[in-house]
Structure 1
Amino acid sequence: MSALLQTRAPDMHPDEWQARVQLAAAYRIFDMLGWAEMIYNHITVRLPDSVTRGEKQFLINPFGLHYSEVTAGNLLKIDVQGNKLDAHNPWPVNPAGFTIHAAIHESVPDAHCVMHTHTTNGLAVACTEGGLAQNNFYSAQLHELVAYHDFEGITIHAEEAPRLLASLGNKPLMILRNHGLLAAGPTLPLTFVRLWTLQRACDIQVTQAALGRAIPISEAVARKTTHDSFQFDQRFGAGQDVFDAMTRLVEQRHGTSYKS
């Protein structure tokens, strides 16, 4: 039995425990990067059919815990209606978490993982009329990968879900206008590197704006750059190597308590 499975409950499917450990590591990575928003925002993972027997279920952070407190054992398992499926877990569910995330997990077949942030620079770009500018190394890797959704207030109302899904379409990334950033993908590592690239593009854009007019990147070059970007190519790990490195860094700095 691998080290990742040593502390799982005896009656828990090993695939669920692996998903829990990976997701808990992601919360610690977000905290280390400064992407945490106190107890708010979410990273969610849809559990595989081997665990759910075809039901749509996903893991989400307990509402009330800081990202640095999230562990494999205290993650909540819920259905797409936001119902807790692990009665022993005392923590509540944040309605703003399952409204967006459940809609995407339920309706987008490829959305195994969904990540949402309110980083300062991500939110700053989301507040601009032009959105993401095509003028830097990172934004050039995201040609035609970013959708936009207009702000409707705090996302706790189910009636917004169809409009949000229509805005997302088949894009893996979305800028929620006046709100923040969102990423969805078939694996947690790939979702992470895509969101990281969008965040870096926003960081550069906000910093560059103080320096004057930027040099634009042509659509042809942006299309080629996105095509050539190694992190979106399944042959090169699709972000797994990056995620593993960041997990090792978390363990070196903060230990392995996220696995408990």
Structure 2
Amino acid sequence: MVAQPQPQAQSQAILPSRRPAGTADDEWTVRVDLAACYRLFHHFRFTDLIYTHISARVPGRHDHFLINPYGLMFDEITASSLVKVDVDGNVVSDTTGLGINPGGFTIHSAVHMARPDVTCVMHSHTAAGIAVSCMKQGLMPLTQHAMRFHGRIAHHDYDGVFFTDAERKRLQASLGADRMVMLLRNHGLLACGRTIAEAWDVMYYLERACQAQVALLSTGAELIHPADTVAEQVARAFEDPGRKANARIWPALLRMLDRTSPGYRD
């Protein structure tokens, strides 16, 4: 049964500014990178106030993951303020006392439980992502950004707001065993990665693809539809295991945050 954390007073939240005692080095590295993702969501305007979530598996633990405290804006989140929970919804450690959003727990725990290959899960409610999730045709392979995901997007039909085991199982069935991207119909976007850097790369370009599609459709102009063979070639190019983009992009993003929002490392 999915536990539903009780809401707690949020006005007096304490934002810790140092590494919690007993935090292993590899967990701290994940915490820093995950906090960086929250700041990047804020920077690129992927946020929805205190809602939506990014989670990461705790290294060496299949049943523990890190997620945002329920009540902090994304530009407030730090490495030490992230909440550690287990797959049953129990808070393992929470230095803020805010607990977690049970809705976010339902979505993220579903993926972490079913997909041991996934380290990081991102969920967004952007205007473009929601718009495309409401389109019957979903994401169309109109642009290079969109062609990257050709034939590789799972879809999950909207059935209301539920925090139940049944909903977790539905999400798991929709995502399947190998998809890293899912359109949550009438809801938003879901992106996964084997690393935090990979998940960010997937989400960023998925969002850009949605933005382009919304902009293109709004013009009413006749559109060029590339052949499926072209879209497949592009998708395979992005799946190339020798592709070095993530190794170059992630350090550059951290350097940007160190200039503009360095508190994420606290």
TM-score where L is the length of structure 1: 0.91
Gaps of 5+ in 2: 1-17
Equivalent runs, 1:1-260 vs 2, <5 Å: 7-49=18-60, 52=61, 55-86=62-93, 88-169=95-176, 170-211=178-219, 212-229=221-238, 232-237=239-244, 239-254=246-261, 256-260=262-266
Cα deviations by residue, 1:25-75 (Å, 9 ceiling, x for unpaired): 0100110000111000000001111xx3xx410000000000011000110
Distance in structure 2 (CA, Å) of the matches to 1:236 and 1:207: 29
- Which amino acid in structure 2 is aligned with residue 203 of structure 1? Q
Q: If each structure's helix is expressed as a fraction of its own residues, which one has the higher value?
A: 1
Instruction: Kindly report structure 1 stretches of 4+ aligned residues shifted beyond 6 Å.
Output: none
SS of equivalent residue, structure 1 residue 125 = helix
Alpha-carbon distance, 1:237 to partner: 3.3
Q: What is the aligned-residue RMSD (CA, Å)?
A: 1.6
Alpha-carbon distance, 1:243 to partner: 2.1
TM-score where L is the length of structure 2: 0.89
- Identity over aligned residues, as a percent? 38
Distance in structure 1 (CA, Å) of the matches to 2:100 and 2:251: 28
Alpha-carbon distance, 1:87 to partner: 5.4
Give 1:3's aligned residue.
Answer: none
Distance in structure 1 (CA, Å) of the matches to 2:70 and 2:21: 26
